[in-house]
């Protein structure tokens, strides 16, 4: 459903832009191959009113059943490609990674202070420098050094679950933040109400609200960023200003925590301390220090058996649409034209719920990853970590944390539905938050 901001902006300030872009795109398209199939676009606005703002992965999955595993949509001349199968994602994001490894420009990111996040950066030298530094500390052999911290924090989780099992969701979120904060900053989270935990949770939640196509009007009409907040359709300025202040504190408060402890000679071993000591040894570059802060800030925010582990990622992917890719050049796929600058979404949800591969896909069934002899099968690709050259750099540490947590919880507790005052089981209602993350 499109918000009132969109309607106001369309009516008051954007019709001329829409007409210009629409006519240019229509004229260019006449001499090209057809776009991939998808919902029929309306004159000028394209599929603006078709792009879902809630549970988009479900709508895109239905589109896949109707139009095929590669679906095309457009909004005011901006193209969106939805990949609903592993085959399509592999063919484009893996085998043609040179063309499909860019990121779309998302104006709201810089407005809310998340511009430092190299996950969303285009493939520039700035991106390469940050990714290289991140990989240095989270590659497989380096990630193994963090196991003691992971296991220690998982033990804290088990104690918390034993004490207040009804707060399991909060305990799980605290675990993730506690591992990252200890690893990156040497900071020990002592309670669920910890200030740093709250900062990252709120900042990440706000980020997830504005990333996907159609989620924020300024992403569709970038020029609105230059108009005052009282202008029709520009209420996003207030949200952006508040979020930017929050993100600034999220990124800099733990950084200053480490810096101050280093001055006092009491900083615990951590990734941040090691990087800052290396920087100080080589002249103390302010620019290099900013790179270190950016990389640490990203890690801070990212933050039973193997069959259960695989099924968790398949059944309920935390990133149902992945992180958007973008094409850096025009391309042709199976006779269809894909323009340069197209936003490409990998529908992880659809891939994990492919009925031709997973029978009864809505059912949680770890046995689907076992052979008849009880041994693991070869289906070991965790789709949620992404594809191609933009695959998640921190996947090894994340993989180890999730696996160890599942094993520890299942070996320690019996898990069952809660009961009401009469002893009757309370049925579980699956409800997810909207946005980039579920």
Q: Which residues are annotated as a binding site for heme?
A: 392
The DSSP call for residue 21 is H
- Please check whether residue 83 is in contact with residue 47, taking contact to mean a CB–CB distance below 8 angstroms: no
Residues 211, 196: Cα–Cα separation, whole Å: 23
Partnered with residue 75 across adjacent β-strands are 46, 78
Angle of helix 195-208 relative to helix 168-185, nearest 10 degrees, comes to 100
- Please check whether residue 210 is in contact with residue 257, taking contact to mean a CB–CB distance below 8 angstroms: no
| CA angle in degrees (0–180, nearest 5) for 312-313-317 | 115
Q: Which H or E element spans position 70?
A: strand 70-75
- Please check whether residue 271 is in contact with residue 292, taking contact to mean a CB–CB distance below 8 angstroms: no
Label residues 409-425 b or e (16+ Cβ within 10 Å = b).
beeeeeeeeeeeeeeee
- Of the candidates 385, 367, 364, the residue with the CA atom closest to the CA atom of residue 377: 367
- Of the candidates 83, 97, 71, 99, the residue with the CA atom closest to the CA atom of residue 387: 97
Which amino acids are annotated as binding site, given as ranges?
A: 392
Rg (CA), the chain: 23
| Helix, strand, or coil (residue 344) | strand
């Amino acid at each position: 459903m499109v918000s009132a901001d969109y309607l106001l902006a369309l009516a008051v300030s954007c019709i001329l832009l829409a007409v210009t872009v629409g006519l240019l795109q229509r004229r260019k398209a006449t001499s090209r191959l057809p776009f991939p199939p998808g919902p029929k676009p309306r004159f000028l606005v394209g599929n603006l009113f078709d792009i879902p703002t809630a549970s988009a992965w479900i709508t895109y999955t239905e589109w896949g059943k109707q139009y095929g595993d590669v679906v095309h949509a457009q909004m005011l001349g901006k193209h969106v490609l939805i990949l609903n199968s592993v085959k399509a994602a592999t063919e484009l994001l893996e085998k043609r990674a040179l063309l499909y490894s860019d990121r779309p420009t998302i104006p709201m990111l810089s407005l809310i202070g998340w511009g430092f996040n190299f996950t969303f950066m285009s493939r520039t030298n700035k991106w390469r420098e940050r990714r290289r530094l991140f990989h240095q500390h989270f590659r497989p052999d380096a990630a193994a050094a963090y196991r003691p911290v992971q296991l220690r924090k998982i033990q804290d989780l088990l104690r918390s679950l034993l004490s207040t099992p009804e707060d399991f969701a909060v305990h799980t979120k605290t675990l993730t933040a506690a591992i990252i904060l200890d690893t990156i900053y040497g900071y020990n989270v002592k309670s669920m109400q910890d200030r740093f935990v709250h900062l990252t949770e709120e900042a990440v939640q706000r980020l997830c609200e504005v990333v996907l196509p159609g989620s924020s009007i300024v992403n569709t009409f970038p020029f609105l960023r230059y108009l005052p907040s009282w202008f029709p359709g520009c209420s996003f300025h207030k949200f952006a200003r508040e979020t930017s202040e929050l993100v600034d504190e999220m990124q800099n408060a733990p950084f200053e925590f480490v810096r101050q402890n280093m001055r006092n000679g009491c900083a615990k071993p951590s990734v941040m301390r090691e990087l800052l000591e290396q920087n100080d040894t080589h002249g103390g570059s302010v620019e290099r220090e900013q790179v270190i802060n950016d990389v640490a800030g990203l890690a801070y925010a990212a933050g039973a058996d193997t069959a259960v582990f695989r099924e968790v990622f398949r059944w309920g992917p935390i990133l149902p649409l992945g992180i958007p890719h973008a094409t850096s050049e025009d391309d042709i796929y199976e006779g269809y034209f894909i323009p340069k600058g197209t936003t490409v979404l990998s529908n992880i949800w659809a891939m994990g719920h492919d009925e031709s591969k997973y029978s009864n896909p809505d059912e949680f069934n770890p046995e689907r990853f076992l052979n008849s002899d009880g041994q693991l099968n070869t289906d070991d690709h965790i789709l949620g970590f992404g594809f191609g050259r933009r695959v998640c750099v921190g996947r090894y540490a994340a993989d180890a944390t999730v696996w160890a947590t599942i094993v520890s919880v299942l070996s320690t507790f019996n898990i069952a539905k809660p009961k009401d005052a009469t002893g009757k089981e309370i049925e579980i209602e699956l409800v997810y938050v909207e946005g980039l993350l579920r």
